[in-house]
């Protein structure tokens, strides 16, 4: 199954999600992003949802647009942000600000050397951070992207893709009786 087949099976109550999926997965619907970036963001986002059927469908579709190293980097973005989003959300939300002054002591080498274009990796990290709800990480990745020349429309497009991918995965969970 691929993403188009999943989209076509979304139920009527998710018509907006279906329409949004069609839009955000195009360069016209994701201002300032290339098609490769769109599929990278979508793939990293799908990994962040943990929905195995959706991940497999997105991989099948994305493999037409992404090289093996980019597919692997999408997994790396989802996995490193799974750790960082929990840690930094704790730092941001806990009342005792002494924790913020403490070194994280967590390895994060993949962020400095992701094996793909740094901007693309940052876009994936921003998308996953949005799904995971870490404000500190979203701020940090948005700042990095802006410093690298990505405008606000590109940042917004990234989060719009993440939100739609997350919604599709959620509908698939609600409709677990459907053979996706």
Q: Please state, in angstroms and rounded to a whole number, the distance separating the CA atoms of residues 82 and 84.
A: 6
Q: Where are the domains of the chain?
A: 3-174
For domain 3-174, give the CATH number.
1.20.1290.10
Q: Please state, in angstroms and rounded to a whole number, the distance separating the CA atoms of residues 81 and 48.
A: 9
Mean pLDDT of 18-36: 98
User: What is the pLDDT at residue 178?
Assistant: 55
* Model pLDDT for residues 41-95, shown as the tens digit of each residue: 999 999 999 999 999 999 999 999 999 999 999 999 999 999 999 999 999 999 9
User: What is the pLDDT at residue 176?
Assistant: 82
Catalytic annotation, pick one of 48, 134, 136, 150: 134
User: What is the pLDDT at residue 109?
Assistant: 95
Catalytic annotation, pick one of 137, 140, 142, 161: 137
**Does residue 179 register a pLDDT over 70?**
no
125 is catalytic: no
């Amino acid at each position: 199954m691929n993403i188009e087949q999943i989209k076509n099976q979304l139920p009527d109550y998710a018509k907006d999600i279906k329409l949004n999926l069609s839009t955000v997965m195009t360069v016209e619907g994701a201002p300032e992003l290339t098609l490769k970036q769109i599929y990278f963001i979508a793939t990293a986002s799908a990994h962040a949802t943990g929905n195995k059927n959706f991940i497999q469908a997105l991989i099948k579709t994305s493999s037409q647009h992404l090289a093996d190293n980019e597919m692997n980097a999408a997994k790396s973005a989802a996995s490193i942000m799974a750790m960082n989003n929990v840690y930094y959300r704790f730092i941001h939300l806990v009342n005792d600000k002494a924790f913020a002054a403490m070194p994280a002591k967590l390895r994060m080498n993949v962020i400095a050397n992701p094996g793909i274009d740094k901007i693309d990796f940052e876009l994936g990290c921003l998308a996953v951070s949005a799904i995971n709800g870490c404000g500190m990480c979203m701020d940090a990745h948005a700042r990095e992207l802006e410093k690298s020349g990505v405008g606000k429309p590109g940042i917004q497009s990234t989060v719009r893709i993440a939100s739609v991918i997350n919604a599709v995965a959620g509908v698939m969970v609600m409709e677990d009786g459907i053979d996706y």
